[in-house]
Amino acid sequence: MAGPVRRALHFVVKVGDRGRTVSFYRDILAMKILRHEEFEEGCKASCNGPYDGKWSKTMVGYGPEDNHFVVELTYNYGIGGYRLGNDFLGITIQSSEAICNVRQHGWPIVQEATGVVVVEAPGGYKFHLLDKPQPTNADPVQKVTLGVSNLERARHYWTKLCGMNLYGQEKRSILLGYTEDQCKLELRDASQAIDHCTAFGRIAFACPRVQLPSIQETMENQQQTVLTPLLSLDTPGKATVEVVIVADPDGHEICFVGDESFRQLSYSDPTADHMLNKAMEADKSAEWFLQTGKQKQQV
């Protein structure tokens, strides 16, 4: 069902402190700002969560989404923080350079063992940094790890219904992907129900546009959750993409997007750094809340 043309794109995280978050990705992980977009109202596919107000999307990574797995930072202007559940267990990156940045900047280390350093981005999102030189001819992002409540059920869903290949298996985890050279998805047995709280993310994959209706049909026929039936999403001044958004048995959100139009949308923007800096300078929401004696909403 899923040929080698499917590929892993990005993982979406919600951020409350945009400035500190951007500093982490820029200065600690040494990722690049690939593109930045501002929106006046909520996304039709809830890309920014269940919120209707002004928000922004910032893509950060080590290279373009054509051949790199990146992170999508979604920032809702009126919200200052989110509760992290046990659904997202971390992103693994091969980069001794990032570890050097951690030490030079005095960024707190959550855990350290032989060959790996664990740190948290603002908001509590964990990053597992492998102490090996960052590759220049491959994606440094190795895998995304999500918790599941039933490993065998998750294996069936992701391999049989999403068409992923099994690349590794341990007693309490499996490693999945579409091709050998892509960022992998690790599913780890959490031994408890999965609670997404309010910081819940979303993982995105590209596929040929022609596959989108069949993905939706497969999920419906198997009585699985379809969060957003086939839908066109507009980005002002850029390509329109089509998506189908589903959820696995543990409620992990999965976005399948038409590859052809997404490649046009996801071109790295050389002005992205400037656009992001300009947006952060113009963002007076924190000052407004302070002046009015109110606080940003913590959800």
Which tokens sit at 101? 């940045």
Q: Give the pLDDT of the chain (299 residues) as one tens digit per residue.
A: 444 489 999 999 999 999 999 999 999 999 999 999 999 988 888 888 888 889 999 999 999 999 999 999 999 998 989 999 999 999 999 999 999 999 999 999 999 999 999 999 999 999 999 999 999 889 999 999 999 999 999 999 999 999 999 999 999 999 999 999 999 999 999 989 999 999 999 999 999 999 999 999 999 999 999 999 999 887 767 778 899 999 999 999 999 999 998 888 888 999 999 999 999 999 877 675 665 555 667 88
CA atoms within 13 A on the CB side of 7: 18
CB-CB neighbours of 279 under 10 Å: 16
CA atoms within 13 A on the CB side of 208: 8
Which pLDDT does position 4 carry in this prediction? 44
Distances (CA, A) of 214 to 161, 177, 209, 247: 11, 20, 10, 16
**Radius of gyration for the alpha carbons in the chain, expressed in angstroms and rounded:** 19
Domain ranges of the chain: 7-294
Residue 13 sits at the vertex; the CA angle it makes with 11 and 14, to the nearest 5 degrees, is 160
Q: How far apart are CA 89 and CA 128, in angstroms?
A: 10
The domain defined by 7-294 carries CATH number 3.10.180.10: yes
Which pLDDT does position 129 carry in this prediction? 98
Sheet with 109-113: list strands edge to edge. 109-113, 116-120, 126-130, 88-94, 141-148, 184-189, 173-177, 165-170
Q: Is the pTM above the cut of 0.85?
A: yes
Q: How far apart are CA 66 and CA 179, in angstroms?
A: 14
